[in-house]
Amino acid sequence: MALVLACALLLPPIQYVLFSCRCESVTAKAGESFNGLFVSINKYAFLLQNFIDIVDTFWTQSERFGTEIFTETVTKVDFSSRPFKLFMDLRTVLADAVIISTRAVVKRLSFVGSGEGAGGFWNRGISSCAVCDGAALIFKNKPLVVIGGGDSAMEKVYIIHRCDTFRASKIMQQRALSKPKIKLIWNSVVEAYGDENGKGVLGGLKVKNVIVSGDVSDLKISGLFFAIGHEPATKFLDGQLELDEDGYVVTKPGTTKTSVLLYEAVDF
């Protein structure tokens, strides 16, 4: 979006704030907007399989057209009057126009061993994206677990669900149930513990059946992935824009305009 505006010579230099740079299962296509930037890029659409590559490409091309990029988190906003105010830890940005493009973030569970820091295994065996992180060499040919009951959980190895039915679409359920490599564990919750070598990485789960038996079993695994849905990254708006019941920005039908004439970014 910053690149499109910069190429159109709108609001130079554009102050473009990156709220989140985390990749969640991304396959991106780019086309002739990048013509001439690199020899390998021409008027035909191409596929970038490495998300870091495409972010670097966007970044470099945007800067060529005068975009000023701040890699900071917007903590709150004030859209009550113009110029609009965006507050960050190190600065406050004033803007006549704001485009909201924060997308959604993966929901995380909270249980023993799921957090960051001491005693937790987040990013040390526990992750939110089996597609992007599961391909890492540390997980190759290793036992893995996915927690969830929706569509995104239906393509994995062990699937642990707290109920005895899935919310996933019927076709995804059928696909999972028909795969011999996928084992289902129903009515259960978990706690995580470390590896036996003391390397500070995930070693396994204590799996407790909370509905039927109350039994606790031990499951040796190398990776655990959450697949329980997403939530919009709009908490920083704090009532400044109209949101729907799920927290997504409400736009006027047929447009990207919001309740205060800001704009919500959309995928084409």
Q: Residues 132, 238, 246, 267: which is the catalytic one?
A: 132
Structure tokens at 98: 């704001």
**How far apart, in whole angstroms, are the C-alpha atoms of residue 239 and residue 102?**
16
Q: Which residues pair with 188 in a beta bridge?
A: 209
Q: What φ, ψ does residue 34 adopt, rounded to 5°?
A: -100, 10
**How far apart, in whole angstroms, are the C-alpha atoms of residue 200 and residue 193?**
9
- Is 133 a residue of the active site? yes
Q: Residues 133, 215, 218, 238: which is the catalytic one?
A: 133
Query: How many CA atoms does the CB half-sphere of 96 hold within 13 Å?
Result: 5
| Alpha carbon distances (Å) from 255 to 33, 149, 160, 261 | 23, 34, 41, 11
Collapsed DSSP state (helix, strand, coil) of residue 4: helix
- Is 129 a residue of the active site? yes
- Is 23 a residue of the active site? no
Q: Residues 129, 164, 195, 244: which is the catalytic one?
A: 129
Q: In what order do the strands lie in the sheet with 188-194?
A: 188-194, 202-209, 216-220
Cis check: omega of the bond before 143, within 30 degrees of 0: no
Strands 188-194 and 15-17: unpaired
Q: Write out the catalytic residue numbers.
A: 129, 132-133
